[in-house]
Structure formats: C-alpha cells, structure tokens
Structure 1
Amino acid sequence: MLSKMLLAFSSICVFHVGFAQQSYGNSTVSALFAYGDSILDTGNNNLLLTLTKVNFFPYGRNFVGGRPTGRFGNGRVFSDMIAEGLGLKTLLPAYRDPTLSDDDLPTGVCFASGGSGLDAITARIQGVIWVSDQVNDFQNYITRLNGVVGDQEKTNQIISNAVYLISAGNNDIAITYFTTMTRRFQYTVPGYTDLLVTWTRDLIKSLYDMGARKFAVMGTLPLGCLPGARSMIGNVLKICEVFSNQAADMFNKKLSADLDNLSATFPGAKFMYIDMYNPLLGLINNPQANGFIDVTDGCCCTPTSIIPCLDASQYVFWDVAHPTEKSYQTITPSIIEAIKENLA
C-alpha cells in the first residue's frame, strides 16, 4: 500500500450523446480527446501491470454508484468536467476500456495514463502509457472511428473540430527529476524544463499531423504543495516544498510563452494555456472562501489518512497527489469558458 501511495504522489461508464452534429450543439467543438497523466486519466491503467492504478475502493467513493473506475480521485476528474462543460458528455470514457462503446467514439475519449509524462523514462519506470504511445492509440482510434461513421469526410471533421486536452509534466518533474533523480544528474532545472517544453511541442506536432487543430495545454499543479510533498521526512510543519514549486512554475511560464508563438509554426491551429498552478494555489491559500477546511492532508490513502475522511468536499486533495472532485468543480467553470472563447 505504501508503494502505491508513493507512486500516487509521484504520478501525479459512459453516456451516449449521439454522433457529432454539423453544428456541434452550441459550439464548434465536435469532441474532446485527453492525453497525459492522472489528472485526466479515466481508467486506461486498469489492465496494465503497474502499481499506478486506482481501480479499488475508496477511489470512486463519490462517483455514480460509488464504484472505482480507475479515476484518480473520489469522483469525476478534470477531463470529465471539461467534456460536460463543452456539452459533449458527462463522462469521458477511457480508450483502453474493453467495454468502450462505438457510440461514444464520435464525441471523444481519453488516452491519458496515470503516472505518465513527456519523458519516456517517466512512463517506463512505472509501466504506464507514454504520451507517444497515447498518440499511437489515437491513430488506432481514428481507424475505428472511420468504421463507425462510415465516411472519411465526417471523420476528418470530427478530428479537426475537436479539442485536444493535454496534461503532462507533473510526473516528469515530481518523479523523474526530484524523486528518482534519474534526470537530475544530467540536467539543471532550467535545462530539463526546456526539454519538457520541446517534448510538448513534439507531442502537439504529432497530433497536428493527424488532423488536430485545437489545443488546450495544461500547466502543472503546484507540486510542492501536494500532500505527498508536504509529508516528506523532516517537514514537520507540512509547508509547501519550495524546489518542486519553483521547477513547476518555471516550466509553466516557459510552456505558456511557447504556446503563444505556435500559431506561426502550425498554420490553422489554435492554442491556449490552462493555468492549473495558480487556481489550485488559490484554494490552498484561501480555503474558507470555497468551503474547504484541510489543504495540507489528503482525505484518503496517505500515511496520515489511512482511514478515509468522512467528507471529501472539505478537502482540497483526495490523496497524496490528486485534487478532490470538489476542487475540480471549483476551478473548472472559468477554464471551460476560456476554452469556449479561445477554441470553440
């Protein structure tokens, strides 16, 4: 159990809404595709030979039916809420779910894998799906989608009018650089964060070459303020760990600046940066404003919370690394509006 909790710190079903319509509801968004890590993963790790999976109680305690689905939280996760906010579906299904329905394909699926990252080492040391392999899954998805809609032109319309949601970098910084120190002997923090931005651009190019045109790219969480970071040995006061936060902030600023300049590199594409760092830090620094009580501990599955708390809605974090459903619900409305404004 301890190894699972350490990996969780490091790592950082389904409603059919019919085929994508030409008007795509109230926007020009046809579908949502999610890539990256556990912030977006809706169950792709369930059948992998890895400790980085959460298809067991108490995960999913507040999910429909109170069942664990492989989502890294107590209920729905960020990708589900973005899909709902865009008017697509209430839950974004995992592509590797063996029960995935063909009916769900036109409005999007999730390819993200908890514990994954931009660095190949990050995925390899945990036995999860690297982002490049998630792109391979997307290629297989396109073939399957074409068989469902039966028209290449319709397939192309869905692909080009979809939003591509990416969350990567959390585990590269938290695990590969600071926890295992695999890259720390090779690169300075500025050098490694430069690499992460380059790898993000490579991921975007792979998707762009396959028809993607609308990109919503998330920055990292305030990694040093996660309960797992606060509980490191010697941190008696459970204060935020400064070095992880500095690296996360550095990466986020570089990523945001790079996205501002990508339109010239990828003609016809739209890009937006999603700030996850400051909204979550806002909840941590002013919890009472949104009804939170505990910001330093996870409700569940930590050395100090072996028995889950009674009310996860009072906690900013569910476990050692992942926000609660309420935290996502609190920060997503403004993000959804920004996606509609910039990408729809």
Structure 2
Amino acid sequence: MKYKKGKLWKIPTLVVCAVLFGLLAADISGSYVTAPIDVAAYHILRSFESSAATGFFKIMTNMVHPVVLLVISLSMIHILKQRKYFIALLGNLILTVLLNVAIKGSFMRIRPPQEMHLVMESGYSFPSGHAMVAASFYGFLAYMLKQADLKKSQRYAFTVLNALIVFLVGCSRIYLGVHYATDVIGGFCVSVMYLILYTEVISHYFAAEALDAAHHHLDVKQELVLSFAYAFRGIFDGIKNERNMMIHYSVVVLVVVFGVTLKLTVTEWGICLILCGMVIALEQVNTAIEAVVDLVTEEHKELARLAKDTAAGAVLVAAITAAIVGGLIFFPKLAQLFGL
C-alpha cells in the first residue's frame, strides 16, 4: 500500500525530531555543547524584562493550566461541533503528562538556578512539561480544525493562532527562568513525534466504518490497522454506552490534574497509571461479558447471573484497591498543602 501523499511529510518530520531530541538528550547528559544556546535564548528574552512583559509571559505559561485547557476544550468542541473528539482530546492530555513525567524521571536534569526564577517551580527540567502539553494540546486542536467544516481562511487563522500560542508558551518558560531553551526544544520534539502517531491512531479509529466496508479486500498490514481501529472503537463505545466507564475516565482526569498540581514522583505516577489501567481494563471486560451474556441468554439463568456478578465484583475489588492506594498517595500531600 502506498503512503498517502498528504502524509509524506510525517516520516521526515519524525526522523528530524527523533534525531534532534537524541542529540539534545545526549548533550545534556554530558558535554553541554548547547549551553551557549541556552544562555543566548535566556538573555534575549530577559532583555525585554518589565512588569508588563512578566505579566504577559505569566499569562502565556498559564495557557496550559488544567482549568484553562478544560475550558478551551469544551469551547472548541462546541464551536466546531466535534463532540466525537472530546475523549480523544482528554486522552491526549493524559498521555502527554504521563509521557513527560516518564522522560523527566529518566534524565533528571536540574532546573536553572533558583535566582533566575520569576515563578515558583519544582521537579526536573528536561523536557519542558509546559512545552510538551502546549504542543500536543494546541497541535491536536489544529488537527480538529482540519476535520471541521470551516472555510480555508478560518482554518488557517486558527492554526496560526495555535502555533503562536505554542511558541509563546515555550518562550514564557525561558523568560520566567524555570527552563533552558533546550528543555523547550526537547519538549516540542517529543510532542511532535507523539502527536503524529496519536493522530494517526485517532484517524484510523474514526475511519473504522470505511475499513469495515472494504474488509474482504484488505492485506495483512490493513488487517493490523483494522484490529487497532476495532480496539479503539471498543474503548470509545464503552465510554458512550456505559455510565460506569465515563465515571472511571473522569476519575483518571482528576488523578492527572491533582497529580500535576501535587507534583507526584515518577514512582507514584507509575502506581496511579497501573491502578487506573487495571480498573478500566476490568470494566471493559465486564462490559463485554454483560453484552455476551445478554446476547445469548434471553431468560434468567443462574450461571448467567453468576458470570455477570463475578465480573462486576472483579471491577469493584480493583476500584476499592485503587481508591485505598490513591488515598495513601494523595491524602498526605493534600494535608501538607493545606497545612494539616
């Protein structure tokens, strides 16, 4: 199967970003050849320092605050009439945050000296979480704009605006003294690579029906793509049709928001991710079992009841376990935050 003409740019972009990120990662782990770039970028941006500039860049850095992103998400989905992308948008944010935490924990680069900071920040520096979230979130909005029923000029204007926001968020982290320029560039590289892959998966999911129609004419590669499309369709259908599934995903969003706010460690993020994944996976299995039992059993049977109750019980045990472990992680941090 030939690669679609409109997607030809993705492969060289992936390669360039991967090479650039690899060079940055190798450099910050030893030689720091890029130090002059960090110093120059910092001094150029700080040359504009004033109360107005500081206020402006503080606003820009907050363009990736969870509350701001949620408001923008709801607004854009309403304006563009693209409700089907809501879960994909939230999933994009969650995956980006988790990816950033994992990479930061791998490199453990210390932030710029405290005397450079104009805002309070903690944690590791490479890659910039704000840069990653900005690129992945506003980049995904640009993807949504491409699918929306808008005039070409409107799509272009919105896309340019999104790109400008991403650039200014990156600049704000350098100006405020909490990141090096290489942190920001590294964050952009990771998000571009991730976003190309993520939007490919989402595109294949929404194209599942078209693939269904051509199912008997697919080769092995297309069969593999179709299997992923079916899997994602199962996840999305579960969310749309099962109230409990929406509750579980809402809890995941809350965990990510509070995790970012309370600055969980890499280990704590790993524990939360495993527990959330376990609960959601069991709920998916429970939904599948209930659907199959209802399909093959028209009247009440004891074994059918046992199958459904046992599956539901497994979800309950996992949810209670996750709640207890989550409480052990979050309650001490909340108590410390409120001085209790």
Q: Could you say whether these structures have the same fold, taking a TM-score greater than 0.5 normalized by the shorter chain as the test?
A: no
User: When you count helix as a share of all residues, which structure comes out higher?
Assistant: 2
TM-score of the two chains, using structure 2 as the length reference: 0.30
TM-score of the two chains, using structure 1 as the length reference: 0.30
